[in-house]
């Protein structure tokens, strides 16, 4: 075990040439980041999760009710033993051949069977009230942490001149504000890492899982080798658009369409400007070029920059989805459901009556209006 730890904490991987861990031990004159500090993130992540439960129950839910947001979920599929057996034991998305077989067996038209399966898939989805409460929690946290980050960074020299991220590196003292900022962000992403398995499921679950994993690695990595100064820039920059996104979602669920459209436009502008403009031209420029000039590369430097480039790849992916939503909004006249929606959409018209023999008449919607879906989530911090 001692050999494994010695290999993992190899100074020649983590630190610049001629720097040792002993050089970064805490003294009476200066405090430096210590790996054991990161253990604080686990109990704090649990506390954040408990605060979230209390907030959603006693703050967000009353706000949702005051806005007339109902707890009703999607339309329930009428009971049918044969279709239920196929749904639970065989497939939730029957192909054309199976649909034709079920049509003959039940004497239903194919369209009615497709509608039943769509309703059956949707009825397991969360209600609008649940989604509103989740978004309100995230909005509150993102607003708080972004505000804190701005107030902290405006007093630091490296916000105004990024070369200060590397002057006297790695002998840069750890301040109380910086320590709190880092541990809070890391704790939040650990809480998301675990709560995403119980939160609303979306189509990009795998992408978001990768995103949270990369965020945790980046925050941990930059803290251990004391790249915390540039890390704070990455965190604050990526937090800048998240509160706007969650605000747009809340307006969407409350059916304030004009406000939703305005907030989404603001979010899109801030997101694309910060992630495709400022991040590569400002942050990646300092981590790749200024640090090379002042400090020089070493193994963990390469890993850190590769993770930042991976984050940039995710930024490009989400920016593509945002532009895609914007193009649809222009053609439809409003922000509609996105490609990550947790509620399935369909252009097919639905019967207002339960599907039955030779159903061909009376149409309505499937209970999921265009304003009730999830807008694109771009939350990436050290991202997101």
Q: Report the distance separating Cα 46 and Cα 51, nearest Å.
A: 9
Kindly write down the DSSP assignment for every residue of 173-206, as one continuous string.
Answer: PPPHHHHHHHHHHHHHHHHHHHHTTTS---TTHH
Contact yes or no for 341/128 (Cβ under 8 A)? no
Paired with 378 in beta bridges are none
Contact yes or no for 75/366 (Cβ under 8 A)? yes
Contact yes or no for 374/338 (Cβ under 8 A)? yes
What was the pLDDT predicted at 384?
Answer: 41
Q: Give the pLDDT mean for 110-120.
A: 89
Q: Report the distance separating Cα 33 and Cα 36, nearest Å.
A: 9
Q: Give the pLDDT mean for 180-202.
A: 86
Contact yes or no for 383/149 (Cβ under 8 A)? no
More confident position, 6 or 183 = 183
What was the pLDDT predicted at 232?
Answer: 97
What was the pLDDT predicted at 361?
Answer: 34
- Note the pLDDT tens digit of each residue in 184-194: 999 999 998 88
Q: What is the mean pLDDT of the chain?
A: 85
- All domains of the chain in start order, with CATH: 32-66+127-338 (no CATH), 81-124 (1.10.10.60)
pLDDT of 91 > 80? The answer is: yes
What was the pLDDT predicted at 373?
Answer: 36
Q: Report the distance separating Cα 220 and Cα 215, nearest Å.
A: 8
- Classified as helix, coil or strand, 363 is strand
Q: Give the pLDDT mean for 274-289.
A: 97
pLDDT grade for 121, boundaries at 50, 70 and 90? confident
pLDDT grade for 93, boundaries at 50, 70 and 90? confident
pTM of this structure: 0.79
- Note the pLDDT tens digit of each residue in 206-238: 778 888 898 999 999 999 999 999 999 999 999
pLDDT of 346 > 50? The answer is: no
Measured between alpha carbons, how far apart are the two ends of the chain, in Å? Answer: 34
pLDDT of 341 > 70? The answer is: no
pLDDT of 298 > 50? The answer is: yes
pLDDT of 343 > 50? The answer is: no
- Classified as helix, coil or strand, 141 is helix
Q: Give the pLDDT mean for 200-210.
A: 73
- Classified as helix, coil or strand, 351 is strand
Q: Report the distance separating Cα 47 and Cα 183, nearest Å.
A: 13
What percentage of the chain reaches a pLDDT higher than 90? Answer: 61
pLDDT grade for 351, boundaries at 50, 70 and 90? very low
φ, ψ for residue 116, nearest 5 deg:
-60, -45
What was the pLDDT predicted at 60?
Answer: 96
- Note the pLDDT tens digit of each residue in 62-79: 999 999 997 766 678 888
What was the pLDDT predicted at 349?
Answer: 38
Contacts for 288 with CB less than 8 Å, ≥ 6 apart: 305
What was the pLDDT predicted at 157?
Answer: 97
What was the pLDDT predicted at 90?
Answer: 87
pLDDT of 377 > 50? The answer is: no
């Amino acid at each position: 075990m001692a050999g494994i730890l010695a290999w993992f904490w190899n100074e020649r991987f983590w630190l610049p040439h001629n720097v040792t861990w002993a050089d970064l031990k805490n003294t009476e004159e200066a405090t430096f980041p210590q790996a054991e500090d990161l253990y604080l993130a686990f109990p704090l992540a649990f506390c954040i999760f408990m605060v979230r439960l209390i907030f959603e129950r006693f703050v967000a839910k009353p706000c949702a009710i005051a806005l007339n947001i109902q707890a009703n979920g999607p339309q329930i599929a009428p009971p049918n033993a044969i279709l239920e057996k196929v749904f639970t034991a065989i497939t939730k998305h029957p192909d054309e051949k199976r649909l034709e077989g079920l049509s003959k067996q039940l004497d239903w038209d194919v369209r009615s069977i497709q509608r039943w399966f769509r309703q059956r898939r949707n009825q397991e989805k969360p209600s609008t009230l649940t989604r509103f409460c989740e978004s309100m929690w995230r909005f509150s946290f993102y607003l708080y942490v972004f505000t804190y980050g701005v107030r902290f960074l405006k007093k630091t020299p490296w916000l105004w001149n990024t070369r200060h991220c590397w002057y006297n590196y790695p002998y840069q003292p750890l301040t109380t504000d910086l320590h709190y900022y880092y541990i809070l962000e890391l704790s939040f992403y650990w809480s998301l890492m675990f709560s995403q398995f119980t939160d609303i499921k979306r189509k990009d679950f795998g992408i978001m899982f990768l995103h949270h994993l990369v965020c945790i690695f980046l925050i941990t990595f930059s803290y251990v080798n004391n790249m915390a100064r540039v890390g704070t820039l990455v965190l604050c920059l990526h937090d800048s658009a998240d509160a706007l996104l969650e605000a747009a979602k809340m307006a969407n669920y409350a059916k304030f369409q004009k406000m939703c459209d305005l907030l989404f436009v603001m979010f899109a502008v801030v997101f694309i400007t910060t992630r495709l403009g400022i991040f590569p031209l400002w942050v990646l420029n300092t981590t790749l070029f200024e640090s090379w000039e002042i400090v020089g590369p070493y193994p963990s430097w390469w890993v850190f920059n590769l993770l930042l480039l991976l984050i940039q790849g995710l930024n490009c992916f989400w920016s593509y989805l945002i532009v895609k939503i914007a193009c649809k909004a222009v053609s439809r006249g409003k922000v509609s459901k996105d490609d990550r929606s947790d509620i399935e959409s369909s252009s097919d018209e639905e019967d207002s009556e339960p599907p039955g023999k030779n159903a061909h008449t009376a149409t309505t919607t499937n209970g999921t209006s265009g304003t009730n879906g999830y807008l694109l989530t771009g939350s990436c911090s050290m991202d997101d």
